[in-house]
Homo-oligomer: A and B are copies of this chain.
C-alpha cells in the first residue's frame, strides 16, 4: 500500500491535485490502482503480466511443459519472385520451409526467405535446431539488430498440402501471417509466411494509449 494522498502531499510539499495526477499517470501505466475509502496499492504482479507484452509462442509452449520441435520440409536457393524481390531488394534468396510441432502435433507451417548471402553460414540441421532469430543473432551475421516488423494477418482456406499436414479437411479456415522483419536501420532483413490451423490458434493484440474507435485496429480491406 502507498501512503495516503494527504501524506504524500505534505511529504513532497505539493498539492493533493498534483499527487493525484502523478498517481493517475502511474495507474494508466498499470503500476498502481486505488479503491475509494481504502487507498492506493501497487498492482500485484499477475495483472502486470496480463498487461505486459505477450510472450512468444515458444515461451508459451515452454510454460505449458510442451516440447517444441521443428522439421524442415525443404530448402533451396533460388531467384526471388517479384513480390519477394520488391520487399527484400535481393535477386537471389534462400527459401526454407519448416513445420513447427508441439509435442509432435503440427501447429504451424512456416516459410522463411532470407538473402542468399546469409545462407552460406547455415546447414539443414541448423534450421531444425534453431530459430532464424537465434541463427542470425548468435552468429553475429547482422550489422544492425532486428528492431521492427510489419505483419499482416488474414484468414485463408487451407490448401491440400497443409490439410494433410494438420490433419484437417481441405478448405478449413486458417490464419496466415505474412511478416517482414527490419533491422534498426530500417532495411528489410527477412520475409516469412506462417500458416496456422484456425482451430488451434488465435492472435492476441493489446492496444494501449488513446483509443479513437472501438473497431478492430489494423484492419484493412484487400482488393
Number of A residues whose C-beta is below 8 Å from B? 70
A148 touches B207 (CB 8 A): yes
Q: Which residues does A use to contact B, with CB under 8 Å?
A: 27-28, 30, 33, 53-54, 56-58, 60-61, 102, 107, 112, 131-133, 145-157, 171-175, 177, 179, 181, 184-186, 190, 192, 194, 196, 198-222
Q: Specify which chain B residues have a CB less than 8 angstroms from the CB of A210 in the assembled complex.
A: 145-147
B214 touches A151 (CB 8 A): no
The 5 closest A-B pairs by CB, nearest first: A155-B198, A154-B202, A173-B173, A155-B173, A153-B203
CA distance A213 to B181 in the complex (A): 10
B205 touches A222 (CB 8 A): no
Q: Specify which chain B residues have a CB less than 8 angstroms from the CB of A216 in the assembled complex.
A: 57, 151, 153, 177, 179, 194, 203
Known: A146-B214, A174-B173, A181-B214. A107 touches B154 (CB 8 A): no
- Of B154, B206, B214, which contacts A190 at CB under 8 A? B214
Known: A58-B215, A154-B201, A204-B219. 19 other contacts (CB 8 A): A30-B186, A54-B220, A56-B215, A56-B217, A60-B220, A107-B221, A133-B213, A133-B214, A152-B205, A153-B203, A154-B202, A155-B156, A155-B173, A179-B214, A179-B216, A194-B215, A194-B216, A201-B221, A201-B222
A198 touches B173 (CB 8 A): yes
**Identity of the chain B residue whose Cβ is nearest the Cβ of A47 in the assembled complex:** B186
**Identity of the chain B residue whose Cβ is nearest the Cβ of A56 in the assembled complex:** B213
CA distance A174 to B198 in the complex (A): 10
CA distance A20 to B175 in the complex (A): 42
Q: Specify which chain B residues have a CB less than 8 angstroms from the CB of A27 in the assembled complex.
A: 184-186
CA distance A27 to B203 in the complex (A): 30
Q: Specify which chain B residues have a CB less than 8 angstroms from the CB of A148 in the assembled complex.
A: 206-209, 211
